[in-house]
A and B are shown apart, each in its own frame.
Chain A
Amino acid sequence: MDGADTGGPGTRTSDVSRPPTDTGHDALGVPLAHVDGSVRLLLGDTAAPPTLVVVVERDCPTSQGALRALRHAGGAVVVLSQGRPEAARALIEETETTDLDVLIEVAPYPVSSALGARTVPTFVLFDAGRVVEHHEGWDRAVVAELVTRVGGELTGSGGLPELKPGCQSRHTLDAPTQATLQAADAELGDTAGRIEDLWDLGWHDGLPVVPPTRGRVRAMLDGRDPATSLGPIGPVPGEVTFERLAVCAVLAGCDPSYWPVVEAAARAVMDPTFNAHGVINTTHFASPWIIVNGPVREAIGMNAGSNVLGPGNRANATIGRAVRLLMQLTGGGTPGGLDQSTLGGQHKFTACLPEREEASPWEPWHVTLGHDPDVSTVTVLAGEAPAGINDHGSSSAEDLATTLALAMGNAQVPIGSPAFHAVNAETLLILSPEHATTIGDAGWSKQDLREFIVAHGQGKHTEVAEIVVVVAGGDAGRFSAVVAPWVGSGKGSKPVTRAIVDP
C-alpha cells in the first residue's frame, strides 16, 4: 500500500487545523517504545519545554516528506511512528532521519487517538504538558512556524509542495485493517538488511557481518562528512573515505562510540611507514596488531583483563575487524587474491587489545613513547599470531626475564635453527600482570627488562627499540605472549602510534 493515492484503508483525507485543545493530555501517560529500545513517555516530563509531536506513518508519502523536511530542522521535535518497529526503522532508513527522536506506537494506537490525530502527519505543539497548537496534513508555512516555536528552523521542503493532504491515521481504522497493516509492517524487516545479502556480495571475512545500511552508516559517522578522504590504501589502491571506513566499521559490528579509535587505527595503518600494501600482499602471517592506550579504553568499554586477546568484548573484537575489513575490501586484499598469506591466522580476523595500564608496575606504552598519560593513542604493529609463554616456575626477575628473552629470541626462526638470524624488527611482548609484578617488584624498570631481553635473546634483537612491552590480561596466571614481527631492517613495516582525536 502506498498512501494517499491508492484507495482502501490507506486512503487518507484531510488538512484540518483546529483550535488549541487539552485532549492531548491523555496521551502523556502511555509508555512508548523508542527506536533505540528504551521505553519512555511521549514528552518524558509533563513540564517539558515547548515540544512539537509529529504523528507519522511509514506508508504515507506526506509523512515521509514531512520527516525529510524536519531532519535538519533541529528543535524539540518528537516523532510518533504508527505501526510495528520495523515500520519505524524503515521510515528512518528511507527518510535518512537517524537524528530524530522516534517513538513507536502499535495498535490500537491510544496515543494517536488521545492526540486527536485523524490524519498523518499531525503536528501537535505541547507547552508545559498542554496542547497549544494542532495541525493535520502538510502546510509548510504552518509547520515552519511550529518548528520555530520549539527552537528549530525549517529549511527544507522534504520534496513536498507548500500544501499536501495527509493520510488516514491508523487509529481510525477497524481492528482487522489495523492487524493487516501491522502484519505488512513485519515484512519490512528486510530494510534493516539481511546477513545473507552480504554473503552474496562477498563483503565479509568469513564470519557474518552487519548490513551497512544507509542509516547504520550515518549513525556511525555521527555528522562527520562522509566524503572526507584519508588517502589510498592497499594494492588496488582504494581511496579511503569516512563513508567507506564507516561501512567497514558497521560490517565489523562496531558501536559508533568506537569511531575515534577506528579512525586513528585506520590512519596509522595507512601511514606509509606501516606499509599496508606489503602487509596485505605478503605470504607471511602479518596483520596489524592494534594496541590502545589511555582513557579511551575505559570510555568505550574495552577489556584489558582476562581474555584480553578474545573472545568476549565487542570493542576489542570489532575495532580490529573493522581495520581488517578496510584492508580487505577497500584496499583490495582479498584472501587468496591479492592477500597471498600462506597460512593466514585467526589474528587476521581481528587483533586489538588495550594495555592494562592499571595493573602495570611501569608507565604505559604510549608514555614510554613520550605521550602524555591523559592522551589516548593507538599503536599498530605488523605481527604474527600470538605465541604463548608459560612460566610458573621462575620466582626471581632474572629467571623469568630469561624465559621471556628466549621466547622473544624464538620469534620467527627459532633459536638453534640453521636459519636463525637477527629479526631487526619490533616484536610485541604481551606481559601478564603476574609476570609484570614479579619483575617490577624486584625493582626492574621497563627499560631494564627490554635491555635484558636484547642481551639474552641469543642475538635475535639488537636494539632496545625492537622490544615492545605492554601489560595485559587477567589477574591470575603466569602466562604471557609474544607476537613475532614481519620483515625488519626498516624494509618491511615499522609500528606507527597516533593520538586519538576527540575520544
Chain B
Amino acid sequence: MTTYLSPFDDRTREPVPFATRRPSLAGQRVGLLDISKPKGREFLDRVEHLLVESHGVGEVVRIVKPTFTRPAPPDVLSEAERCGAVLVALAD
C-alpha cells in the first residue's frame, strides 16, 4: 500500500484503569452526578432512595454538572473524588 499521511493524533496514551470494584456499598459515601439533562434529578432521587434503603449506603452526595454539553469542570471532579463510588446519570 502507498504510504499515506495520517489525520490521527497517534501519540500513545496510557490507558486509564477502572477503579477497584467495591464488594459492598454498605456504609460507603456515594456520589450521584447529575449532568443537568431534563429529568435527571428525578431519576437520581429514586436511585438515592434505593441505595440507602436497599444497599445500606452511608451517605449520598449529589453533584451537578453545570451543563451536559461539556466535560465536567475541575470542581465537579474534585467533589466526585471525595466519594467511595460515583454513579453518573448520563441522559434523559
- Listed in ascending order, the chain A residues whose CB lies under 8 Å from chain B are 190-194, 197-198, 201, 203, 211-214, 217, 236-239, 243-244, 246-248, 251, 275, 277-278, 282-283, 325-326, 329-330, 486-487, 491-493
The main secondary structure of chain B at its interface with chain A is: loop
Q: A238-B8, A251-B7, A330-B9 are in contact. Are A491 and B69 (CB under 8 A)?
A: yes
In the complex the two chains form, what is the Cα distance from A290 to B71 in whole Å? Answer: 24
Given contacts A247-B4, A492-B69, 13 further A-B contacts (CB under 8 A): A193-B2, A194-B1, A197-B4, A212-B4, A213-B2, A214-B5, A239-B11, A244-B9, A247-B7, A248-B7, A329-B8, A486-B69, A487-B69
B54 at the interface (CB under 8 A from A): no
Q: Please indicate the chain B residues that have their CB under 8 angstroms from the CB of A247 in the complex.
A: 4-7
Q: A191-B2, A194-B2, A197-B1 are in contact. Are A325 and B7 (CB under 8 A)?
A: yes
B7 and A326 within 8 A (CB): yes
Partner of A282, one of B2, B8, B66, B69: B69
Instruction: Write the chain B residue with the least CB distance to A278.
Output: B69
In the complex the two chains form, what is the Cα distance from A366 to B15 in whole Å? Answer: 44
Most chain A CB within a 10 A radius of its CB, from B3, B6, B8, B91: B8
In the complex the two chains form, what is the Cα distance from A251 to B67 in whole Å? Answer: 34
In the complex the two chains form, what is the Cα distance from A330 to B67 in whole Å? Answer: 25
Q: Please indicate the chain A residues that have their CB under 8 angstroms from the CB of B3 in the complex.
A: 213-214
Tell me the chain B residues, 1-38 only, with Cβ under 8 Å from chain A: 1-9, 11
Q: A238-B9, A326-B7 are in contact. Are A275 and B2 (CB under 8 A)?
A: no
In the complex the two chains form, what is the Cα distance from A211 to B5 in whole Å? Answer: 9
Chain B nearest CB: distance from A259 CB in Å? 15
B69 and A244 within 8 A (CB): no
Q: Please indicate the chain B residues that have their CB under 8 angstroms from the CB of A211 in the complex.
A: 2, 4
Q: A277-B71, A491-B66, A493-B69 are in contact. Are A213 and B4 (CB under 8 A)?
A: yes
Chain B nearest CB: distance from A457 CB in Å? 22
B70 at the interface (CB under 8 A from A): yes
Q: What 4 pairs across the A-B complex have the smallest Cβ distances?
A: A238-B9, A278-B69, A491-B67, A329-B7
Q: A193-B2, A211-B2, A283-B91 are in contact. Are A275 and B9 (CB under 8 A)?
A: no
Chain A nearest CB: distance from B12 CB in Å? 13
Chain A nearest CB: distance from B20 CB in Å? 25
Q: A491-B67, A492-B69 are in contact. Are A236 and B5 (CB under 8 A)?
A: no
Partner of A330, one of B2, B4, B8, B70: B8
Instruction: Write the chain A residue with the least CB distance to B91.
Output: A283
In the complex the two chains form, what is the Cα distance from A380 to B70 in whole Å? Answer: 18
Q: A277-B71, A282-B69, A487-B69 are in contact. Are A244 and B8 (CB under 8 A)?
A: yes
Partner of B5, one of A217, A239, A326: A217
B69 and A275 within 8 A (CB): yes
In the complex the two chains form, what is the Cα distance from A244 to B9 in whole Å? Answer: 8
Chain A nearest CB: distance from B73 CB in Å? 12
Instruction: Write the chain B residue with the least CB distance to A419.
Output: B38
In the complex the two chains form, what is the Cα distance from A326 to B7 in whole Å? Answer: 7
Q: A190-B2, A191-B2, A283-B91 are in contact. Are A212 and B67 (CB under 8 A)?
A: no
Chain B nearest CB: distance from A503 CB in Å? 24
